[in-house]
Amino acid sequence: MLQFSGKSVYKGIVLGPVTVFGKQDDPIRRKKIEDADVEIERVRAANEQAKEQLQKLYDKALKEVGESHAAIFEVHQMMLDDDDYLDSIHNMIQTELVNAEYAVAVTGDNFSKMFAEMDDEYFKARSADVKDISNRLVRILEGKEESSLSSDKPSIIVADDLSPSETVQMDKKKILAFVTVHGSTNSHTAILARMMNIPALIGVPLNLDEIHNGMMAVVDGFEGQVIFEPDEALCDKVKDRMEEEREKLKLLESLKGKENVTLDGKKINIYANIGSVGDIGYVLENDAGGIGLFRSEFLYLGRDNFPTEEEQFLAYKQVAQMMADKKVIIRTLDIGADKQVDYFNLGSEDNPAMGYRAIRICLKQPDIFKTQLRALLRAASYGNIAIMYPMITSTWEVERIYEIVDEVKQELDNLQVPYRLPEQGIMIETPAAVMMSDELAQMVDFFSIGTNDLTQYTLAIDRQNEKLDDFYNPHHKAILRMIQMVVDSAHKYEKWAGICGELGADPELTEEFVRMGVDELSVAPSMVLKLRKIIRELDTSKS
C-alpha cells in the first residue's frame, strides 16, 4: 500500500480505480534512427489512428454538446492532413535521421509558435490546436492511452494540477474523486469538487510516475489521505464507511421540503451555487431554495470562441425554467485571474487576481457584456432570474452598468424582442465595496458577499497560492466584521444581503451568520441539507 496525505477539500470517502490525468509528460527524447522510411510509416499509421480517435470524439461531442462545439474535432482532423505540417515532419526525419516522436514534437512546437506570432486572431487561436494534434500523435507513437477520461468506468482522477477549463470539460459522471499534487483549497477546482459532492485532496506529494491507470485507491477526505493499492481488509473497512455515509445522507433526506427556520422562528434562505446547466440536478436533488450564484463564466471556459447570445439565452432560459419560480441569480462573466480563456486575449499580467477581470472586462469591452445582457434580459421572461455583477469597487461602475443595461433595453425595444428587466444586485468581494456598501445599497436590489475574493483582498493573500493556505483565515475578525457591516448597510435600505463565497457553507459559522441577520446563504448543493439541519436545531433567543 502506498499512502500519502494532502489537504482535504470535501469530506467524503471512496474506493475505486485510478485515472492519471497526465500533464507532466516526460520530455520527448531525440533518438538517432537507421531507417527513415520506417519512421515515416510510423507517422502515417499514427496519423490514421489519430483521425479515428478524433472522429469518435466528434461523434460523441455532436451528441452531447452540439455541432458548434464538436466542430473543433473536425478542424483537428483536417490539420492532420495539412501538407506543410506533414512535409516538415518527414523532412526532419529524413535529413536529421531522428525518431518520429521527436520530429512530431519539434514540428508541433515550431508550428504552434509560428501561429502564435500571427496577427490574425483566427490563426493565433490555431496555435493551441497544432500543439494538441502533435501531442495526440506523440501519445499514439509512444503507445500511451488516449486521455484517461475517455474510459467508461468512473474513476479517481489523479493529476499534477487541474485548471478550471480542464475540470469543466470532464464528464462528471465518470469522476469518483480528485487527487492533485498542486492546487489550493480555494481554487475553482476545489469548488467544483464540493459542488459534485465528491472527495478531493490537494497538495498530495505524489510521484506521478509511480501511479498508473487502473490502480485501485482509497480517497479519504475525512482523514486527508489517499492510499494506493489498499489491501483487502482496508477495502472492506472503506466499503463499510461508504455505506455509513450513504445512511447519513438518507437521514438528511428527511429534511427535504422543510423550512430553514430556527427554533425561535428566524428564517434564512439556503440557495445553491452552480457552474453550468448540468449542475441543476444537484440543486434539485438537495432541495435548495434557489440558485444564489450561477457562475456564468463557465459557459465561456473550455471552448475556442465566445458563446453566442443564442447559446447563452438557451442556457439561462433552461435554468430559469427548470427552477420554476425559484430565484436564479446569474452572475455576469467573471473571467480573468485563474479563469483564463485564450480567445479573450487578455495577455499576461504580473498580478492577474488584481488585474483585468470580471466587470472590468465588461466595462472596457461592452460588446462582450451586451451580448450576455441581451441573453439575460430575454431569458428573464421565462422565470425568476436576477442578475449579479462581480468585482464591484465603486458607485460609478454601477452607474455605468445601468447605462449599458439601458442601451441593451433600447436595442431590444427597437428589435421588438420580448424581455424583462430583472432584479440587479452586486457581489461584495472587495474591501472597497464593503466600505462603500452604505451608498451601494441605495443603488442595487441586493448584495451577495463573495468571501473567497473578499478574504484574499482583505488579508492580501492570493487564494491560488497553496503556500499561503495556512494564512488564509476566513474566520479572521476583519472578515466577520465586514460581513456585519454589509448586512447592516443592506438592511438600512431594506435590501437583502447573502453570502455566496465558500464561507457561507462553513457549519462553524452558521449560527453567527443567522445572528448577524444574513438573509441568504448560497452554498455547494451538497451542503444545503447539512445547513438546514444546523439551522433547525438553533435557538438564537438563548445566548
Contacts with Mg ion, residue ranges (CB under 5 A): 429, 450, 453
Residue 430's SS3 state is coil
What gap in Å lies between CA 424 and CA 402, rounded to an integer?
A: 10
| Contact assessment for residue 271 and residue 47, using Cβ atoms and an 8 Å cutoff | no
506 touches which of ligand PEP, Mg ion, none (CB within 5 to 8 A by kind)?
none
Task: State how far Cα 492 lies from the chain centre.
Answer: 35
The residue (of 429 and 462) whose beta carbon lies closer to ligand PEP is 429
What gap in Å lies between CA 171 and CA 150, rounded to an integer?
A: 9
The residue (of 108 and 501) whose beta carbon lies closer to ligand PEP is 501
Q: Which of the residues are catalytic?
A: 188, 500
Helix, strand, coil percentages (3-state) for the chain, rounded to 5, are: 50, 15, 30
Query: Residue 347 to residues 33, 132, 340, 355, 369: CA-CA distances in angstroms?
Result: 41, 21, 10, 11, 19
The residue (of 99 and 448) whose beta carbon lies closer to Mg ion is 448
Burial of 497 (0-12, 13-18, 19+ CB in 10 A): buried
Residue 375's SS3 state is helix
Least distance between ligand PEP and beta carbon 156 (Å): 25
The residue (of 220 and 453) whose beta carbon lies closer to Mg ion is 453
Q: Which helix (H) or strand (E) holds 190?
A: helix 188-196
Residue 301 identity: L
Least distance between Mg ion and beta carbon 366 (Å): 21
262 touches which of ligand PEP, Mg ion, none (CB within 5 to 8 A by kind)?
none
Burial of 37 (0-12, 13-18, 19+ CB in 10 A): exposed
Burial of 464 (0-12, 13-18, 19+ CB in 10 A): middle
Least distance between ligand PEP and beta carbon 111 (Å): 35
The binding site for ligand PEP (CB under 6 A) comprises 293, 295, 334, 429, 450-453, 500-501
DSSP string, 296-363: GGGGTTTSSSPPPHHHHHHHHHHHHHHTTTSEEEEEPP--BTTB--GGG-----S-GGGSS-THHHHH
500 touches which of Mg ion, ligand PEP, none (CB within 5 to 8 A by kind)?
ligand PEP
Read off the DSSP letter of residue 503.
G
| Contact assessment for residue 178 and residue 201, using Cβ atoms and an 8 Å cutoff | yes
Phi, psi of 302 (to 5 degrees): 65, 30
| Contact assessment for residue 329 and residue 425, using Cβ atoms and an 8 Å cutoff | yes
The residue (of 238 and 293) whose beta carbon lies closer to ligand PEP is 293
Least distance between Mg ion and beta carbon 296 (Å): 13
The residue (of 186 and 489) whose beta carbon lies closer to Mg ion is 186
Least distance between ligand PEP and beta carbon 221 (Å): 20
307 touches which of ligand PEP, Mg ion, none (CB within 5 to 8 A by kind)?
none
Least distance between ligand PEP and beta carbon 449 (Å): 7
Least distance between ligand PEP and beta carbon 471 (Å): 17
What gap in Å lies between CA 338 and CA 349, rounded to an integer?
A: 12
Least distance between ligand PEP and beta carbon 454 (Å): 6
Residue found under cell 533518438? 31
Q: Which of 519, 67, 486 is nearest to 292 (CA)?
A: 519
The residue (of 198 and 426) whose beta carbon lies closer to Mg ion is 426
The residue (of 90 and 194) whose beta carbon lies closer to Mg ion is 194
295 touches which of ligand PEP, Mg ion, none (CB within 5 to 8 A by kind)?
ligand PEP
| Contact assessment for residue 427 and residue 392, using Cβ atoms and an 8 Å cutoff | yes
What gap in Å lies between CA 448 and CA 452, rounded to an integer?
A: 12
What gap in Å lies between CA 9 and CA 246, rounded to an integer?
A: 19
| Contact assessment for residue 44 and residue 229, using Cβ atoms and an 8 Å cutoff | no
What gap in Å lies between CA 424 and CA 407, rounded to an integer?
A: 16
What gap in Å lies between CA 154 and CA 239, rounded to an integer?
A: 16
The residue (of 111 and 447) whose beta carbon lies closer to ligand PEP is 447
Least distance between ligand PEP and beta carbon 374 (Å): 23
